[in-house]
Amino acid sequence: MLRLTLTLSAIYLALVGLALLIVPLRFGIGAVPADASPQLVALLRLLGAPFLGIAILNWLSRGARPAPLLNAVLLANIVGFGTVAANDIHGVLSGEARELAKIFLPIHLLFALAFVAAARANWRRA
């Protein structure tokens, strides 16, 4: 389960990062105005870089054995995906989020729960 979760999240995060870098206006459809300022587009592109970094970290951690460093990777993913899922839940329930959030919410929530399960199993083995 750990390897699968790290693999799928790495692919997902890489796709999000690349979308923010390459097609930021398309990625932000429904939230970013079509006539967005160059500064806003630059900010969206800037936000794509950490996604790529975390994707690489997850990809390279797929074969790691239980250790403190792997625990840090898992905890970071729990915090990241958990926070995004909480934001999606708030946005969907309050009506503040774009419609697309209804699709991303279960994805983010499933990743958060998968990382919690993987971390618990990993911590038992460590």
Q: Which tens digits make up the pLDDT trace of 11-30?
A: 999 999 999 999 999 988 88
Q: What is the pTM of this model?
A: 0.90
* Cα–Cα distance measured from residue 58 to residue 50, given in angstroms and rounded to the nearest whole number: 12
Q: How many domains does the chain have?
A: 1
**Among positive and negative, which fits the CA dihedral 36, 39, 42, 43?**
negative
- Kind and range of the H or E element at 49? helix 38-60
Tokens 């930021």 — which residue?
24
Structural domain that includes position 40: 2-125
> Cα-flanking dihedrals φ and ψ of residue 36, to 5°?
-55, 145
* Cα–Cα distance measured from residue 50 to residue 44, given in angstroms and rounded to the nearest whole number: 11
- Chain segment 84-122, per-residue pLDDT in tens: 999 999 999 999 988 889 999 999 999 999 999 999 988
Kindly state the tokens that stand for 114.
Answer: 């998968």
